[in-house]
A and B are shown apart, each in its own frame.
Chain A
Amino acid sequence: MGQFQMDVKFDRDFVVFYTNGYINDLGGEKIERTCEDILREGYRKVIVNFSESPIINSIGISILIGLIDRVKRAKGSVCFTNLTLNNTEVFEFMGLTQYAPVFPNEEEAVRFTMGHA
């Protein structure tokens, strides 16, 4: 696992975060900081692609909840893609999937995001 890393893709009016590695407090904070940066740049729509992050702990998730909160307050949208089956189960259990939708792949997430005003 080791260091968490994240790539960011800017596409039309949204951004996609590609997380890579364990999402714990450190990983979560990195995502949060990047999110603050892109909000400051004027972006309001975020897709987080978790394909390279099979392991997410509850502290990481708590930061993700904060992030959704933050983007929603800015009248934006957040959605998730490429979660593992296990993590989808966990997100559902916590009621997170109602708060921010989860898609199996990026295309569907993009479609959802583009539809968002």
Chain B
Amino acid sequence: MADGELCIQNALRMAPKDLFFDREPEIRTILDMCLQLAALPAQSCALMGPRRAGTSEIAKRIYKELFINQESILPFWYGFDRVFQDPVHFARDYFSQLVRQYLAFQGKDPTLLLPRVIRFEAIERMVTDCSDARLHGLRDDFNAALGDADRTALLAFTLQVPEVLAQGSTGAACVILDHFHRVFRMNWSDGASLTELFPQAMGSPAVPHILTGQAEVLQRHYLSMETTAGRIRRISVAGLDSKRALEAFLAFCKRYDVAVEQEAAAHELHRFQGIPFYMLSVIRRARQEGIALNRWDAIRDTYFAEVEKGEIAFYYDSLLNRCCPGPFAKRDAIRILSHPLLHAGSRLALEELAKRLLLDLDAARVLVDALASSGLLAENYGMVAPVENPVFDDFLRVAHRYWIGRVGSDEIRKDLFRGTQDVPVLTELKKDEVSEPGRKEKHRVSFGLVLPMVSETELVAARAAEQVAERVDFPEEDIGRIRMALIEACINCFEHSGSEDGKIYITFTLDTEKLSIVVEDKGVSFDPKKVPVPHRPEGTGAPSRRGWGLELIRNLMDQVVFEDVPVGTRLRMVKYYPKDTGLKAQAG
């Protein structure tokens, strides 16, 4: 069976197992729906997800499951990889693929699924060679339809083939149509279009169809028609949730032999929207360039390189190119798409946008339509904006700066990450989580932060300190002092603690009169009294180079104590509020 699986994998060009991250729940849901076919009428459905969410991969696995693990439903798969200009060519291809799959399934011979491209004549021969009289009849009917001038009848017949095959055998079938959005590009002059004809085939209760394709395009061109509205179930496939996404990221890194740090990965995970394609692009680049992804900024920078000039950029670039007849149109497309991003998200009607961007309205209309049918742009209530997709937004910002701003990449990189710069997540601690001795003040609020000992982690701590200090109107220069003291305390943990868990534990506590910061590591202990005092020159001589950290902390803060702890070091430092200020917002 393993060979059979391999055949199916090759025939459908499935992603290898270790790159396909567990979509069991989604696959199960759809399979259950299919497997109940004998008892219940099934409904056709569309797998709707953001770009590259992996809906095709899910569909492929459903086909594989149906092919291998059951016998009562005929599985069919058709990928709209080509856009046919002639209905006859489409009909022959569709017919060939379906009949071939029927033979493969009935004969339990997945090798018949290969090669991917097969000539109609070869299928005819296969049919002639088999003993199934019903298939002979079907072939003859199909040939008769081909000979007839009525293209609409030919197509309608072709789309019913799964149903005919099911009726003659198991009674039920499931047709998976991958990249269904390409159907909307096939418009021929003679005969009805597939968009008009498919709804009927999809209405059969014994032959549900499962569609994948670009969600926005399916929605716009297919699911909202009178013949389909409410009849085709939408199954939304989101990106992986954060737990699965992290697992996937770590697993991919392992697969590609890229060093990674879990905390760094978790810190940057939000960029990928749970979509494996983005993760893989970044990881493959890291592998190519020998980058270790063990720091969050390494991940961020690799992501930036991807959006700027990597696989991700290439992907969106080719989508854009397909919509634009030339470089000028592309430039305009980028200007149209990025306008809301550069203007705080405000959307404009096309007329207004064209006016502001000095575009010819008719040309802009054509462009916007092309972008919309590629699923890159959405027009809601006449307002134009790129589809919601943060990665595409990043791509657009970069593209805009290149094409229109002519700005260098360092500049762009800085811009792109300005808003998102290392804002740490502070968790508010409950009273009993605070290891503060002495009496419990009533008005007190504490925040905890655990940082990995990675380079520049102290800046994250400093950002957190600023956030906390801003709650109590510390003057600017005190915030600067607190920041520096905390940075010094953190780099001491980093440099001197030799801690094995590699973490720095920080607690900020605000009460009615002061900010206390506790910085703790689980490394070696030391006796602060035995630390030599650094030398401060009298004249113009040189000061000591090292050994200033503790001196600075003592000088910058109002109170500094090392508290006794069984392991490691716990430093508590306190800054009193200036007179007349206090906790601005208690407990929050």
Chain A residues within 8 Å of B, Cβ to Cβ = 1-3, 5, 22, 24, 26, 55, 57-59, 61-62, 65-66, 68-69, 84-86, 89-90, 93-96, 98-99
Contact = CB atoms under 8 A, between A and B. Distances in A.
Contacts of A57: 458, 484, 487-488, 491
Interface in B429-478: 455-456, 458-459, 462, 477
B196 to A, nearest CB: 55
- The winner among A3, A65, A95 for most chain B CB atoms within 10 A is A95
24 contacts: A1-B422, A1-B456, A1-B459, A2-B297, A3-B297, A55-B487, A57-B488, A57-B491, A58-B488, A58-B546, A58-B548, A62-B546, A62-B548, A65-B542, A66-B545, A85-B477, A86-B484, A90-B484, A90-B556, A94-B536, A94-B543, A98-B537, A98-B540, A99-B542
B224 interface: no
**Chain B interface mostly:** helix
A55 B479 CA distance: 12
Interface residues of B, number: 36
B483 A55 contact: yes
B539 interface: yes
Interface string B404-429: 00000010000001000110000000
Nearest to A68: B542
A53 to B, nearest CB: 12
B487 A93 contact: no
Nearest to B490: A57
B555 interface: yes
Given A57-B491, A86-B481, A99-B543, 11 more contacts: A1-B422, A2-B417, A57-B458, A57-B484, A58-B552, A65-B543, A84-B480, A90-B484, A90-B552, A90-B556, A99-B537
Interface of B: 297, 301, 410, 417, 421-422, 455-456, 458-459, 462, 477, 480-481, 483-484, 487-488, 491, 495, 534, 536-537, 539-543, 545-546, 548-549, 551-552, 555-556
Instruction: Pick the 5 closest A-B CB pairs, nearest first.
Output: A86-B480, A62-B545, A95-B536, A95-B543, A58-B548
A61 B459 CA distance: 16
A25 B115 CA distance: 59
Contacts of A2: 297, 301, 417
B480 A95 contact: no
Contacts of A24: 455-456, 491
Nearest to A86: B480
Contacts of B541: 99
Contacts of B410: 5
Contact of B555 (A55, A59, A93, A95): A93
B456 A22 contact: yes
Given A94-B548, A99-B541, A55 B536 contact: no
Contacts of A95: 536-537, 543
A22 B459 contact: yes
Contacts of B540: 98-99
Contacts of B552: 58, 90, 93-94
A99 B541 CA distance: 6
A115 to B, nearest CB: 16
A96 B545 CA distance: 10
Nearest to A62: B545
Contacts of B555: 93
- The winner among B462, B537, B539, B543 for most chain A CB atoms within 10 A is B543
A96 B542 CA distance: 8
